[in-house]
Amino acid sequence: MQRLIRAGLMFGNLFHVASPALVERYNRALKHLTGQTTKLTDFYVDISGYSPEVGEELGDDAYLNHAGVNRQFILLSVEQRTAPLLNTKFSTSKGILQRFIAENEAALFALTAKDAVAGELVNSVYDVSTPARLFDIRTVRVEADTTGGTVRDAERLGEMVSRFRDTPEGWYDDVLIAEMIELAGKTGDVVRNPVRLKQMSFEQRNFWTAHFGGLYVFQDVEHPAVIAPGGAPDGLPVDYAFDATQPNQIAHFLRLNGLVETIVEARGINSAAILRQRMDFILIDAVADEGVDLGGLTRADLRRLARRHADKLPPEFHSLGQLVNWAENGGRFPRIDSDDPVYFYTLRAADTPDAELVNMLLAELAPKDIRQLYICHKDLFYRTYARWPDAKKGYVVDFLTREYQVDKAGVRDALFGHEASMAPPAPPPLPKTGLPRQKKKPPPVPDRIADVGPWGAVRRR
């Protein structure tokens, strides 16, 4: 893993806690949340305030996330919002923290100037000892305050100020005035500079969890199901649960709910280039154990590797090659259905609110695409990376450093972005006395797709 760390591909972009003041604030918050402190004077934290170094010192990597639910967090600066979330247990946690910081940026900037903000992502579940408990999680609420209770005291002072103003006897209430003066010494002028954090809650209906081997829970779709690539545990309170041995059912579920589209159908992307790159990844995976030097490979080098090791190439390589030939040269359209091992390599998430979750699932179903695996499912990428031959590790680190790190936003947009529809805006409604409006004709479909359908029928087992 040292190679990943040196390249900034692991533990990258963490927030550096280096000054004595920040360390002291962190320890106050850590003591407040867990009853523990760190003796370290220099360490790095993620968006939630979790530090791998502190976890190693305490002998507890879950010191801010006991039982894997109700994750606690420590904010020392709003700059933490750009840091990754380590040891993720729920796919929604990072997005919730980012939203919370963005919505409260001004207040957090003021609060963290003097103290740390400690909080928790609260739901109604305190343990997930059984799979059914996951379905009791409906919403996640964010609770936060400084270790000194500044937000709580500011709310209390605000109530006192209102009582002082609204009560005729307020000017004669010496006790109330004394308490207001004392609290104002802690909070400042809450009338001119209110100190409050927005009460925020988030629905958690569709999500991934690391519990029970990794589950993708889809509740808020027309046809709910759980996708458990490693095998579905007993006791799931749903009618349908599919694992990696049931690609037909998974494909049918994704299509039925409109969650995916084929790469060749997607607008605004270079589908042939994406598919050809995936061919390269499959080729590298096939020859990594053959003692081949994988450093600095050109397109000509990759072609020579494919010819020299043709007997090692899996069916996925040849199926993608036929699809690229169709896209670039107008060759015969290959029939690829969900029984084909390359099927999930030809998909990406459709433009839905759950696109990020769906791309995460597709990365697990098509794990040889190392770029998508790294971008969409880092936890799985790191576990898989540890098992690769050294030659493949070197190739992957070099590729990601060269092709992804230099323009992360551009790569993500090229792979997963959705171009705005080119359809004209809908005409205004006709008056009731007008002629009936004719149905809009669907856009034309390319002949080759119209002849065979994008992939043919999705067969059921």
Q: How many CB atoms are located within 10 Å of the residue 218 CB? A: 24
Distance in angstroms (rounded) separating the CA atoms of residues 49 and 33: 12
Whether pTM exceeds 0.85: no
Distance in angstroms (rounded) separating the CA atoms of residues 358 and 350: 8
Nearest to 91 by CA among 206, 239, 203: 206
Distance in angstroms (rounded) separating the CA atoms of residues 225 and 303: 42
Spacing of C-alpha 73 from chain mean position: 18
Counting Cβ atoms within 10 Å, is residue 101 exposed (0-12), middle (13-18) or buried (19+)?
A: buried
Indicate the domain borders of the chain: 2-146, 236-416
User: On the CB side of 192, how many CA atoms lie within 13 Å of its CA?
Assistant: 3
The answer to whether residues 97 and 60 touch, using CB atoms and an 8 Å cutoff, is: no
Distance in angstroms (rounded) separating the CA atoms of residues 393 and 381: 11
The pLDDT, as a whole number, for residue 438 is 40
**CA-based end-to-end distance of the chain:** 41
Mean pLDDT by 10 residues, the chain (461 residues): 89 93 96 95 96 96 92 96 94 95 89 89 87 91 85 63 67 64 59 67 93 95 95 92 95 96 86 92 92 85 91 92 86 84 94 95 96 96 94 93 89 83 48 39 41 40 38
The pLDDT, as a whole number, for residue 458 is 42
